[in-house]
Chains A and B, each alone.
Chain A
Amino acid sequence: EPEVTQTPSHQVTQMGQEVILRCVPISNHLYFYWYRQILGQKVEFLVSFYNNEISEKSEIFDDQFSVERPDGSNFTLKIRSTKLEDSAMYFCAINPAPTSTQGGLTYEQYFGPGTRLTVT
């Protein structure tokens, strides 16, 4: 299973502050994703990133959010002015190269360990 790390594991910030969440995939991948999960709720898609550009974004991903790959390896999610409702687990996910199975090519998607963001 491809390895994905995320930093920090836990971030506490005050409302209105900016936060940057980082994702570091161990090997090169084409697609990157950010998802979030508010406590007790389902995992929600935020944004996909392909070939150094945003591929798609959800309605949650408004102007206060941005993503980039500043140095070609780290993949970051920035929240410019945090709100209380931004408190959630934020997961980075990757698609490694497809693997061949009996059913054809398998496109798996793996999640990083997540960053727990707490906005006070």
Chain B
Amino acid sequence: GQNIDQPTEMTATEGAIVQINCTYQTSGFNGLFWYQQHAGEAPTFLSYNVLDGLEEKGRFSSFLSRSKGYSYLLLKELQMKDSASYLCAVRDYDDYKLSFGAGTTVTVRA
């Protein structure tokens, strides 16, 4: 099975940087995903890490350490529209299904 932990809530100011941590304990690992989810909407794919290190995509970066069972999502130059829930998900080795954490609600304030 999968055990995935991330903080429940975070608050930051517009223009600032926020780092969302995710730790996991899994029986099989084949990649870690980050999704953004606005209230009432579907998860939207943000990033995917399968190797250790940092993946950068514009204002969003994601880091993975497989030996530590740890990842983070870094959001830079925060905008009001970044207020959402951010979901950490681990992919199973066999059939690629995803196991999700409970999500971190990020609130961006002016």
Contact = CB atoms under 8 A, between A and B. Distances in A.
Interface of A: 1, 31, 33, 35, 41-45, 48, 50, 55-56, 89, 91, 93, 95, 101, 103-104, 106-114
B94 A56 contact: yes
A42 to B, nearest CB: 5
A104 B92 CA distance: 18
Contact of A48 (B49, B95, B102): B95
Contacts of A1: 45
Contacts, number: 69
Interface residues of B, number: 29
B42 interface: yes
Given A43-B87, A45-B97, A107 B48 contact: yes
Nearest to B100: A43
Contact of A103 (B45, B50, B101): B50
A1 B103 CA distance: 23
Nearest to A114: B42
B42 A112 contact: yes
A49 B102 CA distance: 24
A78 to B, nearest CB: 20
